[in-house]
Amino acid sequence: MQNIVITGPQRGPYLTRLAGELAVRRTQLLDSLPDNSVVVYPAAALKLRNGDCHYTYRQSSEVLYLTGFSEPGAVVVMSKLAGVKAFTMFVQPRDPAQEVWHGARLGPDGAVSSLGADTAYSTKSLSTVLKGMLQKAGQLYLTKGVDSIVEARVREVAMQTGISPYRVRQASALMGDQRLIKSPLEIGLMQTSATIGAHAHNAALMQCHPGISESELKAYIEHVFAVNGASAPAYDSIVAAGSNGLTLHYPAGEAICQDGEMVLIDAGCEYGGYASDITRTLPVNGKFSAHQLDIYKLVLDAQMQCINAVRVGATWTELNDLADLTILQGLERLGFDIVKSKSKSKGRLTLDDVYPHGVGHWLGIDVHDVGDKTVVVDKVSQPRRFKPGMVLTVEPGLYLSTSDIRIPERYRGIAVRIEDDVLVTDDGPVVLTANAFKKPEDIEQMMASAKLSHRESGSFTPVVTAKLSL
């Protein structure tokens, strides 16, 4: 894949934009299947919240990737039997009484005419039709853990046709390599998601002040997501004031952002099915203390070095080693008695104590997108090398315990993570989230400007235009 062009913001119905590409994706998957195999991808199950109320629905990534279909209760079956390739769908039948409550259904006829299925049936026919397929198949692939009821039905049919449980393989890995390389259309959607996410972080920066709660900042960020066309947050937004940032996946709570603390914000949105993932760490009062700045600059240095190393042919191993070395040497300069390996620590502080996660992950339809970080060549596992079209996050961090006496007291309780979304191209890394402020001088300048505006208005009202011109 050469000469990737970012096509800019992507508007309009997801299915309309990607209709042709969805067909290509299905063809690629079918071509890659061994003969006499059947692949079953259930739609995500509705999850009951309480009574007859459900959690907000989000389609399973496999079904979304192959069809763009957003209804629950569906099953996608891809088959290659005696050389014949087929895309079959099982969907909820039309039901006017139910559609009054839950919206129009596409139905089997609509799945053929609108989604391009070769054949489509009511979900009621799943067992019967699938049994006929599996009687001709030698191998079944099934996505596990998505819908337990559908999974049980498929396994029962498989047993009836002589396919043992040991021959049912995980289907989710089949498209790992395929999904790793993003098309120009996908990159455009991811750029839009990243642009919205960056705008939300900048808006939160301008709104942050002593006395604001974590939940208020979360609500403001997610408001900016919504008014700019994002369908939802890509994950539960993390807004962690002060030492709450020491908990990596801390959910936004009711803690108040205090003067002199920092607040760590890890939030991204979903647009057209694709995620952004951004983390920024801000001084609540708009000014980093000297010790906060020491740690912030170290993490930023590690992140920038790793971003610059995101090139065709590079590996995750190289990025992780670079982040580890930069952070380790930086902490030593700041007076930390630290070693990298626990085996050599003899009670000393180790890198894992203050930096317990890797430098990043794949990004796409899933926040932690599919695709192994290693590949097997000639039966030997080796690091996967980056190719144009891959998108990943780069997110080193430091989390300095409030109580660990091995940490210099002046730095205890500080948590910093900085994360951006990066596209691999032949010409080097492209930071999709570059619009989100992260240089300490820019952060301080923008927060000072916001503080002045707030002072002039007499209240902390939103000072950033929330809607982008996408």
- Catalytic: 399? yes
How far apart CA 155 and CA 143 sit, in angstroms, is 11
Options 62, 294, 419, 421, the catalytic residue? 419
Options 399, 411, 420, 421, the catalytic residue? 399
- Catalytic: 361? yes
Options 249, 409, 441, 456, the catalytic residue? 249
HSE-CB for 212 with a 13 A CA cutoff:
27
Options 71, 214, 216, 266, the catalytic residue? 266
| Sign of torsion over alpha carbons 205, 206, 208, 214 | negative
- Catalytic: 419? yes
How far apart CA 353 and CA 304 sit, in angstroms, is 22
Instruction: Please give the distance of CA 3 from its chain centroid, rounded to a whole number.
Output: 25
Give the sheet arrangement for strand 391-394, strand by strand: 391-394, 420-425, 428-431
- Catalytic: 249? yes
- Catalytic: 209? no
Options 368, 426, 427, 455, the catalytic residue? 368
- Catalytic: 368? yes
- Catalytic: 35? no
Options 31, 52, 254, 409, the catalytic residue? 52
How far apart CA 182 and CA 177 sit, in angstroms, is 10
- Catalytic: 254? no
Options 209, 357, 410, 412, the catalytic residue? 357
Options 62, 261, 277, 366, the catalytic residue? 277
Options 62, 216, 324, 395, the catalytic residue? 395
Say if residue 316 is exposed, middle or buried (CB neighbours under 10 Å; 0-12, 13-18, 19+). Answer: buried
How far apart CA 2 and CA 277 sit, in angstroms, is 25
How far apart CA 389 and CA 184 sit, in angstroms, is 8
How far apart CA 203 and CA 191 sit, in angstroms, is 18
Options 105, 179, 280, 361, the catalytic residue? 361
- Catalytic: 395? yes
- Catalytic: 409? no
Q: Which residues are catalytic?
A: 52, 249, 266, 277, 357, 361, 368, 395, 399, 417, 419
